[in-house]
Amino acid sequence: MTTHDSTPTEQDKEALLEDLVDANHILFNEGVLDAFGHVSIRHPDDPERFLLARNMAPGLVTGGDILTFELDGTPVDADGRKVYLERFIHGEIYRARPDVMAVVHSHSPSVVPFSAVKSAPLRPMCHMSGFLGEGAPIFEIREAAGHATDLLIRDCGLGASLADSLGDHNVVLMRGHGATVTAPTLKQVVYRAIYVEVNARLQADALRLGPVDYLTADEASSAMETTEGQVERPWQLWKQRARQARTASTS
């Protein structure tokens, strides 16, 4: 069977699915996700669908747990299995941003304070987090749904409001909740989700010392180009570390 260069082969798709399982384990192992949070990719065969695990802890996901969803959050092949409440985050961002191919939603512990302290915007303070550009916007759920929600993105309307706040940025913070990170590839979204946590920790440390000199917008974009061209290097390390941790925990 011949395929065009732009069409993913069956082998490409299998590798991508395996990467999505590894991404779940890496993000857990690196402390970005705990029992909550999730990572998805746009479906390689259909831009109107995405792949996301069923409702479970990311550290335990296997290939058989990955489900297909429509952009409105309807599961295609769940077969009665429970799905994530906040799947609308993924679908509405894929709908609003054709360039986005992968999404991570986390409650990344060092990032959450920046979602709640609006006078201290999260900005790139080192070259590894150039993807933060001029800073990450904050989604305020009160503006979309009032003062009595549980802060979760429970439907398409809230997902669309979140995608609005994200705009053209790569990261959007969610007040009192967490962050959502986007990228043009799965490996980049994992890299960004890990380094947004690192940046938040470094920025909080730096702010204790004194006024911080952040990257300019141009520095941020140059640094992003350099670091994200090398994303395969940390990916291999994180994958091996996550696989070793899983082997150790089951032996």
**Cβ pair 40, 51 in contact under 8 A:** yes
Report d(CA 17, CA 19) in Å as an integer. 5
The question of whether 134 is a catalytic residue gets the answer no
What would the two tokens of residue 164 be? 């609005």
Q: Where are the beta strands (DSSP E) in 111-232?
A: 138-139, 171-174, 178-183
Nearest Cα neighbor of 165 from 92, 86, 73 is 92
Residue 178: strand, helix, or coil: strand
What size, in residues, is the chain? 251
Of 86, 92, 197, 228, the active-site residue reads 86
Task: Report the DSSP beta bridge partners of residue 87.
Answer: none
Residue 78: strand, helix, or coil: coil
Report d(CA 174, CA 55) in Å as an integer. 21
Give the residue numbers annotated as catalytic, written as ranges.
86
